[in-house]
């Protein structure tokens, strides 16, 4: 069983990467 904290951390990392890519594209 994966702790919810680990899931939240991974989700945060993925969202951060996606937002970072979108910001670079908009520039």
- Give the other-Cβ count within 10 Å of 14's Cβ: 10
Residue 26, CA atoms < 13 Å, CB-side half-sphere: 6
Average pLDDT over residues 4-27: 91
Query: What pLDDT is stored for residue 22 in this prediction?
Result: 83
Q: Is 27 helix (H, G, I), strand (E, B) or coil?
A: coil
Confidence of residue 2 (pLDDT cuts 50, 70, 90): confident
C-alpha closest to that of 8 among 16, 19, 21: 16
pTM score: 0.57
Q: How far apart are CA 6 and CA 22, in angstroms?
A: 25
d(CA 21, CA 17): 6
């Amino acid at each position: 069983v994966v702790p919810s904290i680990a899931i939240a951390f991974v989700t945060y990392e993925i969202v951060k990467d996606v937002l970072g890519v979108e910001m670079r594209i908009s520039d």
